Amino acid sequence: MKCTKVVEAFVLGVMGMRKRIGLPVLFLMAVVVLTFGAITPVVSALEFSEAELFFELNDTDGDLGIHASIDGGPYSKLEIEDPNERVILLLKAQGKLALQGLTQFFMESAEPSFDELEPEVFFNRFPEGRYEISAIALEGGELESVVRLSHVLAAPVGNVMVNTEPAAENCDADPLPSVSEPVTIDWDPVTQSHPEIGKSGPIKIVRYQFFVEQGDIKFAVDLPPDATEFEVPSEIFALGDTNEPFKFEIIARTATNNNTAIESCLIVQ
């Protein structure tokens, strides 16, 4: 460390002058050296237990958002800086909450349609590169993680089938697939980046996320990257209203944490 070399040089200088100066001055210099060393400890910031910043594309509805998922702490103040060192998020606890501290934080931006905000404009707001996530720890010191944001998005899952019927393009389609249980939904594996949105480039799918919902009934499961089908538990349909459609969603998640989602609906006979 630079400060250690400075102290060593100072001590050597004092030793070289020991024949020309008196004992009181030597004692004072020794005190200065010891004090200087005492006030320059090396303190390294701790990392968050989870620090993710990523894009989520709804390919069915045509919208984009930026999300963050952060865990670790406790802390009283949180910041995110973009590659140009501009603060894009500042979160500060106050009052009794500042005494208690924060730990987990999830953020999802607004997601206007592409008619309102074109993908190119969206990506210009959030350039690729290193983003620094930092926080002031409640017990002193800092928490800090650096994440890399990528404009490469996965292509949406394709050739989606509900039992033996092709899935509807969206939940407004008429008619929707009407199937009997057991209900199995399958799709082709995603191997390429999105052909139209974001940058082209190699991708690695780390998992698929599968959701089914109707009203207050919500079911979610994470699937390994080699999974290409899922049989929906019959209990989910039993809890719902078979006179109404069930919505399902499949998300392809890349190694850079970006999500590409598709949505569709089905009717259970």
Most confidently modeled of 12-26, 32-46, 144-158? 144-158
pLDDT at 264: 98
Mean pLDDT, the chain, whole residue set: 88
Residue in 260, 244, 204 with CA at minimum distance from that of residue 65 = 260
Residue in 73, 77, 64 with CA at minimum distance from that of residue 109 = 64
Q: What is the mean pLDDT of residues 176-204?
A: 98
Question: CA of 217: how far to CAs of 144, 239, 240, 241, in Å?
Answer: 37, 7, 7, 10
Do residues 104 and 71 make contact, with C-beta atoms less than 8 angstroms apart? yes
Provide the pLDDT confidence category of residue 205 given band limits of 50, 70 and 90: very high
Give the least confident one: 8-12, 178-182, 204-208, 242-246. 8-12
Q: What is the mean pLDDT of residues 205-230?
A: 98
3-state secondary structure the chain: CHHHHHHHHHHHHHHHCCCCCCHHHHHHHHHHHHHHHHCCCCCCCECCCEEEEEEEEECCCCEEEEEEEEECCCEEEEEEECCCCCEEEEEECCHHHHHHCECCEEEECCCCECCCCCHHHHHHHCCCEEEEEEEEECCCCEEEEEEEECCECECCCEEEEECCEECCCCCCCCCCCEECCCEEEEEECCCCECCCCCECCCCCEEEEEEEEEECCEEEEEEECCCCCEEEECHHHHHHCCCCCCEEEEEEEEECCCCEEEEEEEEEEC
- pLDDT > 90: what percent of the chain? 82
pLDDT at 42: 47
- Higher-confidence position of 16 and 236: 236
Provide the pLDDT confidence category of residue 49 given band limits of 50, 70 and 90: very high
Q: What is the mean pLDDT of residues 177-194?
A: 98
Between CA 153 and CA 131, with CA 115 as vertex, the angle to 5 degrees is 40
Do residues 230 and 182 make contact, with C-beta atoms less than 8 angstroms apart? no
50-149 and 158-268, same CATH topology: yes
The answer on pLDDT for 192 being more than 90 is yes
pLDDT at 45: 72
pLDDT tens digit sequence for 241-250: 999 999 999 9
Residue in 225, 232, 224 with CA at minimum distance from that of residue 264 = 232
How far apart CA 52 and CA 68 sit, in angstroms, is 5
pLDDT at 127: 98
The answer on pLDDT for 102 being more than 60 is yes
CATH number, domain 158-268, options 3.40.50.170, 2.60.120.10, 2.60.40.10, 3.40.50.2020: 2.60.40.10
pLDDT tens digit sequence for 109-163: 999 999 999 999 999 999 999 999 999 999 889 999 999 999 999 999 999 999 9
pLDDT at 44: 58
The answer on pLDDT for 86 being more than 60 is yes
CATH number, domain 50-149, options 3.30.1360, 2.40.160, 2.60.40, 2.30.30: 2.60.40
What is the domain partition of the chain in residue ranges? 2-38, 50-149, 158-268
